[in-house]
A and B are shown apart, each in its own frame.
Chain A
Amino acid sequence: MLNLARNELYRLFLSPLAWVILALSQALLAYLFLSHLDYFVQIQSQIAAIPSAPGVTEMIVAPLLGNAAIILLLISPLITMRLMAEERRNQSLPLLTSSPLSAADVIIGKFLGSFAFLLILLLMILLMPLSLLLGSNIDLMQLASGALGLLLLISSFMAIGLFLSSLTRQPAIAAIATFSLLFFLWIVDWAGQSGHDDAGWLGWLSLLKHFEPLLLGELYSADVAYYVIVTVTFLLLAIRKLDNERLTG
């Protein structure tokens, strides 16, 4: 299982895709980071006088991690699309299914491999707010909570993408389907915000709704549970799908 994850990660880095994604997302976020920083420096003197004014963490770190979430939403489908679909198209899946591995081993191995890649990306993103420590105090606990939020978000992105990738043999279809579903889950609470009280359950479905409190440093077990449930559900669906293929051909 870990071997599979390692191989998955290694193969990702053999393709230019991984490097391009790392470089470009880092560049985008660095630009956003700098513009947030610049804005903060500009207005710092004005807000210093206000009591309980937002600090550097609220002004820079939280928006940065919020933007990072959007970028992760955009790139996750590109990472997950190839996991199973490409394996299918190259007809290399029998290698894994005739090895002494269960369907769960295969799926979890692939999940961990892609998860590890985004973990690397996440660590690189976190270096930016951490660099603020050189000249300022930041709320490390709020940063940690935001990072945890991103981590949970990544795991649910990966699980959803992996499941959709296991349904098709065309990576492009997997990518589009994943992107659509992720985006839908992202914006589904807009209906809930439009004033209908009975649409609250839509808000509960939203990936974004559960991420926002974490960004503000509010850690609710319900939010954590939501992401864990999403991840486990889609992983189970993917395992089920793979096993079903063996049974029905």
Chain B
Amino acid sequence: MTKLLEATNLGKNFSQHIAVSDINIHLCRGEVLGFLGPNGAGKSTTMKMLSGNLAPTHGQILINGIDLLEQPKSAKVHMGYLPETPPLYSELTVREFLTFCGRLKQLTKQSLQSAVDKVIERCGLGDVQHRLIGQLSKGFQQRVGIAQAIVHHPAVVILDEPTSGLDPIQIREIRHLIREVADEHSVILSTHILPEVQMLCDRVQIIAHGALLFSDTIDALSTHMHASSVQVQLANAPTVDELSAIDGVVAIQTIADSTFRLHYQPENDPTEQLVSQAVTKGWQLRQLIADTHSLEDVFMKIVQREDASKDA
């Protein structure tokens, strides 16, 4: 697979403070890479470096095989970037703005109009194309921001927290749009929202305190996410002893009168047993939730694993 973006040993120090250290990122054609981390982990700093807005202290960035630091002009042609705050001129109309962006990104006169038409259609901006950007809702402004990043059909699209500050419906629409963008471009997406990564990305990298902790496929992350416990609510609850007699259950935690959390060995899932017993013994099952770890838990788990492997 051709690597469209490759960053090696990327690091950035702000005087004494180390913001990002030794991060390696690569992105293949047609891939969506999720860049996950809590606030302040160095996500935006990394995104800024990848987009050429911030020079790294050390490391190398290749976009489409062109060194971003040596030949910024020719490398940036292959890249579209949406920062955290979409960079828009509120006094222009959507169409004017996108035409300007197309020219900025060195589209030729012949291809400019068709490129702008196409991006307006793709981003669902047809109805608002003659309205001023300043009057649009935040969701539409975000769309214009994405349109700006893809108008010149770049190989790599870098989106920095594209759904922050939007309402749930807008978030869904923007995610849908990103999914569509991913059909034609390789995308790097930074976010602190885990479900977003699970929905959109093929591969995920987790960063915390400026260091890369985890880099694998989304499936591998899911196994990390899977906690070995299940929460169950039974209207006609049996005693704790009866529950612990179920095969595989190692511990029981009583949350409320009829709500329990059953812990089990990862290789020995008792859920099936639990359900069949609930039916035969008339426990009246109301709720059964497989616990998943939150992003913070996954971080903790991955951090702990890192520490453990260091000790070993």
Contacts and interface: CB of A to CB of B under 8 A. Distances in A.
Interface stretch (A36-44, A93-101, A110-118, A210-218): A93-101
Contact of A3 (B88, B89, B90, B100): B100
A246 B92 contact: no
Nearest to B54: A249
B40 interface: no
Contact of A246 (B53, B89, B106): B53
Of B54, B77, B89, most buried by chain A (CB within 10 Å of CB) is B89
Contacts of B55: 246-247
B104 A102 contact: no
A98 B81 contact: yes
A127 interface: no
Interface stretch (A7-15, A142-150, A179-187, A196-204): A7-15
A15 B148 contact: no
Contacts of B148: 95
A98 B54 contact: no
A244 to B, nearest CB: 10
Interface residues of A, number: 23
B91 A95 contact: no
* B: interface residue count bin: 20 to 34
A12 to B, nearest CB: 10
A4 B104 contact: yes
A91 B73 contact: no
Contacts of B76: 98-100
Interface string A81-123: 0000000001111111111111000000000000000000000
B79 interface: yes
A100 B85 contact: no
B104 A92 contact: no
Interface of A: 3-4, 7, 11, 14-15, 90-102, 246-249
Interface of B: 12, 14, 45, 48, 51-55, 72-74, 76-77, 79, 81, 83, 85, 87-92, 100-101, 103-106, 148
| Top 8 A-B residue pairs of the complex, sorted by shortest distance between their CB atoms | A95-B87, A92-B87, A98-B81, A3-B103, A91-B85, A100-B76, A99-B104, A94-B83
Given A3-B100, A94-B51, A100-B73, 10 more contacts: A3-B103, A14-B91, A90-B89, A90-B90, A92-B87, A94-B87, A95-B104, A97-B53, A98-B53, A249-B14
